[in-house]
Amino acid sequence: MNLSFVTIGDKDFFDSIWISVQQANHFYPSASFYIYDWGLTNSQRTRLKEIVNVDEIIKWDDHVKVSSIERFSLLRRAKSHIYKYLPIEYADPEEIENARQREQNYAQKPFCLLDCLRRSGSRLIYLDGDAFLVNQINDLLQREFDIGVTLRRQDEIINKRNQCQVLNAGVIFFNGYVAHTEAFLKNWIRRIESTYEYLAEQTALTRLIEDECPGIFDNYYNKGVLNLSSFNIKVQVFPCEKYNFNWIEEGVDTDSTNIVHFKGGRHSNVERFHSLLNEIDISIPKR
């Protein structure tokens, strides 16, 4: 099957990654699964390797340094810039350094995806380490698009400098030709490197699309075309409500939801996490 799933995470995301692998295998048994290891334990790696659809677990020790985010740390030298361009809660020097490190971690995503694309040579479904399928997504995969992104609820959308909350980059679909996916990822990386805003990875993704497709985020299922690296790349917008559901505290309707996203792992809502596992009839392996 010309389809691969890919996720990233460390030891704290083992439970949800294990479930994600199992769910992908349940709905798409012929698809491969790639895991980018940001700090799994040896025993966790061994357990994951035992699952039939896990094609590779890639140790991602040497994080790629994104120059714009490295320069981001220099803002500590100028408090006026810190207070002007960063949320006030990040004005403390230690918090600024923590924020810079988080930014570097988030920015690894397109690099991991580019690496996975070269390994798999297939369509990719990216899921954060705390996201997993609860239903099949055939209706989405049968659509004609190259890049699928998930849009937040309309009342949550904010689009201004240093507060770009439009897309949720925890779930992304790469449904077209490999060359189109590669071109998009390379342009996303370049855009991250020129984005001097908070949450540069997600912000760059939003800006890259909206610059060439004004109004695309006005409604779900809108379509647009990006001209990148001589390719016409088709983008479609999907609702988080269905394909990246992260309002876990509201409860999950498994009849209308295809992908859930716990945004911080099962620890963000332990009771709901286990309730959902019971509903989809899956259990976490004993430690």
Residues 6+ apart with CB under 8 A from 193: 66, 67, 68
Sign of CA dihedral 144, 145, 146, 149: negative
- Higher-pLDDT residue of 267 and 171 is 171
CA-based nearest residue to 131, from 30, 15, 218? 15
Q: What is the pLDDT of residue 235?
A: 99
Residue 269 to residue 274: CA distance in whole angstroms: 9
Residue 96 to residue 87: CA distance in whole angstroms: 10
Is the predicted pLDDT of residue 96 greater than 70, yes or no? no
Q: b vs e for 115-150, b when ≥16 Cβ sit within 10 Å of the residue's Cβ? A: bbbeebebbbbbbbbbbbbbbebeebeeeebbbbbb
- Higher-pLDDT residue of 19 and 88 is 19
Model confidence at 269, pLDDT cuts 50, 70, 90, reads low
Question: Which pTM does this prediction carry?
Answer: 0.90
Give φ, ψ of 239 to 5 degrees.
-75, 135
- Higher-pLDDT residue of 279 and 223 is 223
Domain residue ranges in the chain: 3-279
Q: Which CATH superfamily is domain 3-279 in?
A: Spore Coat Polysaccharide Biosynthesis Protein SpsA; Chain A (3.90.550.10)
pLDDT digits (tens, 9 = 90+) for 37-48: 999 999 999 999
State mean pLDDT over 199-225: 96
Is the predicted pLDDT of residue 119 greater than 60, yes or no? yes
Q: What is the pLDDT of residue 263?
A: 73
Is the predicted pLDDT of residue 69 greater than 60, yes or no? yes
- Residue holding tokens 């924020």? 99
Query: Coil, strand, or helix at residue 213?
Result: coil
Q: b vs e for 244-254, b when ≥16 Cβ sit within 10 Å of the residue's Cβ? A: bbbebeeebee
CA-based nearest residue to 172, from 261, 249, 253? 261
Model confidence at 210, pLDDT cuts 50, 70, 90, reads very high
